[in-house]
């Protein structure tokens, strides 16, 4: 069945980097705009970034602009989120979503010293 | 674009008709979606383009509105509907979510 699986989360110190991945299966990945959405503990949903189907257009939330980079490899059906200069407030569950109608289960990022 | 949902929390009962409102800080045409999220789970798309029901979503869910005011209605609340509901504007980047409306059992 259609599946998105995130990986790469973990515990990291402030100022360090982390790269998340989202692997797609049984899903028309190369035709879909792909998003990252996050949810801090006990908080609501926050849209993070989007990349167009061919990777030519990328947009970011103001809270991550200049620190996070979204990318994709359509040959590998995989979406990425490179997170640099991480802050405590980046602590959240990170979800990938295809066209906002197919979601992964999320991967947890904890930024703590 | 800011989205404000009301009420902030809703205490309700099985069988009730429920309405949640989402107001945008500027006009967004019909570029609004509604999501349901249960604890520990990923969000699920219920409605897109303000009023189009996502495939597989029960017909007791409906959406309406355009411009700056939108509503999600559940015609007769079922036990599995107790969850948190979010609106999302996809009219312009950056996309934004409302703050969420949890439904609680009265």
DSSP state of B54: P
Alpha helices by DSSP H, listed for B17-106, are none
Say what the pLDDT of residue A40 is: 98
Residue B94 to residue A62, Cβ atoms within 8 A: yes
Is the Cβ of B93 closer than 8 Å to some Cβ of chain A? yes
Nearest CA in chain A to B101: A44
Chain A neighbors of B94, CB-CB under 8 A: 47, 59-62
Q: Are A97 and A79 in contact (CB under 8 A)?
A: no
Q: Are B20 and B85 in contact (CB under 8 A)?
A: yes
Say what the pLDDT of residue A1 is: 87
Chain B neighbors of A36, CB-CB under 8 A: none
How confident is chain A (113 residues) per 10-residue block, as mean pLDDT? 95 98 94 97 98 97 98 97 98 97 97 96
When CB atoms are compared, the residue of A44, A60, A101 closest to B97 is A44
Instruction: Tell me the per-residue pLDDT of B61-101, one tens digit each, with 9 for 90 and over.
Output: 999 999 999 999 999 999 999 999 999 999 999 999 999 99
DSSP state of A96: E
Q: Are B78 and B14 in contact (CB under 8 A)?
A: yes
Using a 10 angstrom Cβ sphere, with 0-12 exposed, 13-18 middle and 19 or more buried, the burial of residue B39 is exposed
CA distances from residue A102 to B28, B45, B86 in whole angstroms, order as listed: 23, 8, 16
A contact test, residue of B95, B96, B98 with most A CBs within 10 A: B95
Say what the pLDDT of residue B106 is: 87
Say what the pLDDT of residue B43 is: 98
Using a 10 angstrom Cβ sphere, with 0-12 exposed, 13-18 middle and 19 or more buried, the burial of residue B9 is exposed
CA distances from residue A93 to A52, A101, B17, B23, B63 in whole angstroms, order as listed: 22, 18, 32, 26, 28
Q: Are B28 and B22 in contact (CB under 8 A)?
A: no
DSSP bridge pairs for B70: B22, B65
Cβ under 8 Å to A: B residues 21-60: 33, 35, 37, 41-45, 48, 54
């Amino acid at each position: 069945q259609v599946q998105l699986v995130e990986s790469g989360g973990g515990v990291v110190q402030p100022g360090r980097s982390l790269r998340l991945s989202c692997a797609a299966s049984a899903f028309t990945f190369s035709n879909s705009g792909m998003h990252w959405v996050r949810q801090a503990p006990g908080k609501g949903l926050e849209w993070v970034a989007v990349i167009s189907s061919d990777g030519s257009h990328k947009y970011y939330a103001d809270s991550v602009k200049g620190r996070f980079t979204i990318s994709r490899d359509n040959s590998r059906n995989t979406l990425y989120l490179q997170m640099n200069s991480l802050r405590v407030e980046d602590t959240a569950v990170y979800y990938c979503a295809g066209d906002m109608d197919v979601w992964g289960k999320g991967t947890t990022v904890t930024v703590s010293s | 674009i800011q989205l404000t949902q009301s009420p902030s929390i809703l205490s309700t009962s099985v069988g009730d008709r429920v309405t949640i409102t989402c107001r945008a800080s500027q006009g967004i045409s019909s570029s609004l979606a509604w999501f349901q999220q249960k604890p520990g789970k990923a969000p699920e798309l219920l409605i897109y383009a303000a009023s189009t029901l996502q495939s597989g979503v029960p017909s007791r869910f409906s959406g309406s509105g355009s411009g700056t005011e939108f509503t999600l209605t559940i015609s007769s609340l079922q036990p599995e509907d107790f969850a948190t509901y979010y609106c999302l504007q996809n009219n312009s980047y950056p996309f934004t979510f409302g703050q969420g409306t949890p439904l609680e059992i009265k």
